[in-house]
Structure 1
Amino acid sequence: MKHSEFWQVLDETFGPGYGRSVAEDLVLPGAGGRTAAAALAEGVPPRQVWDAVCDEMQLDESTRWLHRIDPDDPVRRSRR
């Protein structure tokens, strides 16, 4: 997962405004007790941070793997 994919699936999952709030405010035990934004800034791989977000927010498996679906795939477009 690239940083750009992290931000894209975060926005698709939560919406741009709330997604940024999740990244800045939600402390993630799976990211060493840091927020997603802090963990990324400190070099934690985006995939590990995304997994921590999914775990903390109890997101389903289809959302966890959203970054693996082509953005033009009808399944992914229907989530927008």
Structure 2
Amino acid sequence: MRITVFRKLMADEFGSVRGEMVAHDHVLSALGGLTPDQALESGLPPKEIWLAVCDAFDVPEQRR
């Protein structure tokens, strides 16, 4: 998954503004205490980050 796809999925799921806020501000234990943006910057795969976000926010399986 590309970062652009990750950003689109975030916007589609949460709305563009809230998606950016979640990516920037929400710390996820599944990502070692990083926010999604920090995890991207550290080199974690976008798909792994997306799945961690989905788990944290109970995104239904069909939208993952």
Measured against the shorter chain, the TM-score band is over 0.9
Q: CA RMSD in A?
A: 0.6
Give the length in aligned residue pairs: 64
Structure 2 alignment gaps of length 5 or more: none
Q: Aligned residues: percent identity? A: 39
* Structure 1 unmatched ranges of 5 or more: 65-80
TM-score of the superposed pair, with normalisation by structure 2 = 0.95
TM-score (norm. length: structure 1): 0.77
Structure with greater strand share of residues = 1
Higher share of residues assigned helix:
2
After the TM superposition, list the runs of 4 or more consecutive aligned residues in structure 1 that deviate by more than 2 angstroms. none
Higher alpha-carbon Rg: 1
Q: CA deviation at 1:33?
A: 1.1
